[in-house]
Structure 1
């Protein structure tokens, strides 16, 4: 790989993006690094169609290319079709996922330089295969950024990590306020979901009790998430005025604007946590089976709630000990006090 400080004006780079909301937000740190280090470069991101609204909010993205392949589906025909459209358009590809199939489109598109980490026997698909030192590159975002740096610098682990910054749309927010009938009170966002599993989810009755306290103090509550979180949102908002269950009622781009309008958010370690961090909102981040050492909110405007029990982090979907004390012992009073202190 050539030195990124050299004159690479006009270089066209394809980034093969990840498949999770949080990871896609963290990938912006790589895009920001490339724009800083390679003035004039053209950045395209190949990613699942659902992620395009997030990519549209990133100033560094010159082009977003949808790769709509179902989860667990190989999608040979789709990948080949997309690759044909990308042929002769790019000088370099950076492949963020470590799977074999994620490296296939750049290979089929005959992009001359293709960089990624070793994984799933990708020897013929990548021209530059890097070894992942998990002790040095101990965070997901570090791994992403390192792939845009010279090998020596990347291997040191000593490099800047720009914080993601998503644009928000005031006009869309104004329309959402009307359409969703939102309260004029200052808002606190709550994100009870976590795609990985219940071992990352603070108890719903804790969310509800905290929401009741906040409503009594003059706040409105906005519960955000996907359609699968709608029942959780109903539990949190039950019998509370000024509490809005927005799960499944908004697009991903809407969530960006609604979170930017919140004074603070209370959230599990989830994709929407990273969105909230990227729009500059104060984040109260709750960690259970995962650890803030690996996937922290990439902002200085966050407070971490993590107990670090002897059994933590286990990285399991469900608690292997059956008690989920790593979450249950983070009490409502702790979060209420943190919000009150941080809003003073």
Structure 2
């Protein structure tokens, strides 16, 4: 049993969806050790999201890009943390992710075995991918004694991001949103095109939803702007918000939607964490591994013999796992859910 007031540093993941799922670990730590203080080291972009997690007492930015070593940045962060934490939990499995706790001389440093981290981590666990078959399970298991975690049979708290009602009012005014009931659309998928439902399908669905009396909000990052334009072009009540909002804004805008239609993406997990009903589209990936963590979710997948392949680009060149998933099927599901 940890001492009251134990100081725990969590080294967070580098993807939006994984960061949302990491909240399940933070909730587990606070439930087991109510007096603990939790700090999270994470990419700078994630700090606004971490501010929406009540379990986080301190968020520390590690400004290192994907694939960068960032020795100076890691060393500087470690120096600032030295003497301030009793133990660290390292969620990513790369050796670079374990550097900050090691350089900060945190006494206990726990993570999964991988990438030659024998020196950097002094408490290591073997990852049993059969029992810990979901990303969120792997995260939560590191907050439990190994004897409780090994079976994979333990409670998974569902992430819950706080919503800023004042910010939502400002967003609705600034973005010119209407009083119509809103449906969110997330056409992006950072991992690659094999996870993306065709933008033309999103556009057809948006047109039907407008006719049915809804407003459509297309959300995503700067990389999704072009797809957002294709979806929203010349459609009244369809707003392309891709690249126009911060991540924290997306939290509030998704909480204000009645339902969302989304690829398996980071924003899918954000929508789930604010309690909005999620229609999740799966092609190359699997809901068995990264499901939306909510009871308000409907999974749409064809289950073709070639999927899930977990590839960034369809290895067969056709992406039939998503191209054959019709807009009519999704529209019918949205209408049925709305009526219910």
Instruction: Please classify the TM superposition score into its range, dividing by the shorter chain length.
Output: over 0.9
Shift of 1:28: 0.1
What's the counterpart of residue 103 of structure 1?
98
Q: 1:55 aligns with which of 50, 53, 59?
A: 50
Residue 304 of structure 2 is aligned to residue 309 of structure 1: yes
Q: Out of 6, 10, 22, which is 1:27 matched to? A: 22
Cα offsets for 1:32-57 (capped at 9, x unmatched) = 00000112000000000000010000
1 CA distance for matches of 2:83 and 2:2? 21
Deviations 1:143-164 (A, max 9, x none): 0000011111111101000000
* TM-superposed deviation, 1:121: 0.1
1:203 aligns with 2:195: no
SS in 2 for 1:156: coil
Match of 2:236 among 236, 241, 255: 241
1:187 aligns with: 182
* Residue 250 of structure 2 is aligned to residue 250 of structure 1: no
Cα distance in 2 for partners of 1:78, 1:328 equals 43
**Alignment of 1:131 onto 2:126:** yes
> Unaligned regions of 5+ residues in structure 2, if any?
none
Shift of 1:184: 1.4
Alpha-carbon shift at residue 226 of structure 1 (Å)? 0.4
Alpha-carbon displacement from aligned partner over 1:198-254 (angstroms, at most 9, x marks no partner): 100001111000000000000000000001100100111122100000000000000
Matches of 1:22 and 1:134, distance apart in 2: 19
The answer on 1:140 being equivalent to 2:143 is: no
Q: How does 1:317-332 map to 2 (within 5 A)?
A: 317-332=312-327
In the TM superposition, residue 282 of structure 1 has moved relative to its aligned partner by 0.3
TM-score (norm 2): 0.99
Match of 1:90 among 85, 90, 114: 85
Q: Contact 1:8–1:39 at 8 Å: present in 2 too?
A: no
Q: Say which SS state the counterpart of residue 84 (structure 1) adopts.
A: helix
Q: Aligned match of 1:333 in 317, 328, 332? A: 328
After the TM superposition, list the runs of 4 or more consecutive aligned residues in structure 1 that deviate by more than 4 angstroms.
Answer: none
Alignment root-mean-square deviation, CA: 0.6
- Counterpart CA distance in 1 for 2:235 and 2:131 is 47
2:218 is matched with 223
1:264 paired with 2:291, answer no
Q: What is the CA–CA distance in structure 1 between the aligned matches of 2:303 and 2:56, rounded to whole Å?
A: 37
Structure 2 residue corresponding to 1:12, chosen from 4, 7, 22? 7
Written as runs of structure 1 = structure 2, the 5 A alignment for 1:167-182 is 167-182=162-177
Cα separation, 1, equivalents of 2:30 and 2:46: 20
Contact 1:269 1:290 (C-alpha < 8 Å) held by counterparts: yes
SS of corresponding position for 1:289: coil
Distance 2:163 2:41 in 1: 22
Partner of 2:270: 275
Q: Is the aligned partner of 1:152 residue 2:147?
A: yes
In the alignment, the residues of structure 1 paired with residue 304 and residue 123 of structure 2 have an alpha-carbon distance, to the nearest angstrom, of 40
Offset at residue 8 of structure 1 (A): 2.6
Aligned length: 339
Residue 65 of structure 2 is matched in structure 1 by 70
TM-score normalized by the length of structure 1: 0.98
